[in-house]
Amino acid sequence: MLERQSQLRGELDRARAFNVQVAQRLKRETGVRPAAIMTGLARRVDTSWLWLTDVAMDLSGQFVLQGRTLEPKRLPEWLAQLSAEPAFKGVTFTYLDVLREDSAPSHQFVISSIPPVEEARQ
Q: Can you give the residue ranges of every domain in the chain?
A: 1-30, 32-120
Q: Angle 87-53-31 (CA atoms, 0-180°, nearest 5)?
A: 20
Looking at the domain 32-120, which fold is it? Answer: Gyrase A; domain 2 (3.30.1360)
Contact in structure between 110 and 96 (CB atoms under 8 Å):
yes
pTM of model > 0.85: no
Give the pLDDT confidence score for residue 120 in this predicted structure: 47
Instruction: Read off the pLDDT of residues 15-39 as tens digits, 9 standing for 90 and up.
Output: 788 777 777 776 776 777 778 888 8
Sequential DSSP letters for the chain: -HHHHHHHHHHHHHHHHHHHHHHHHHHHHHS--HHHHHHHHHHH--TTTEEEEEEEE-TTS-EEEEEEES-GGGHHHHHHHHHTSGGGTT----EEEEEE-TT-SSEEEEEESS--HHHHT-
Round to whole Å and give the CA distance between 90 and 20: 25
Task: Dump pLDDT digits (tens) for 89-108.
Answer: 888 898 999 998 788 889 99
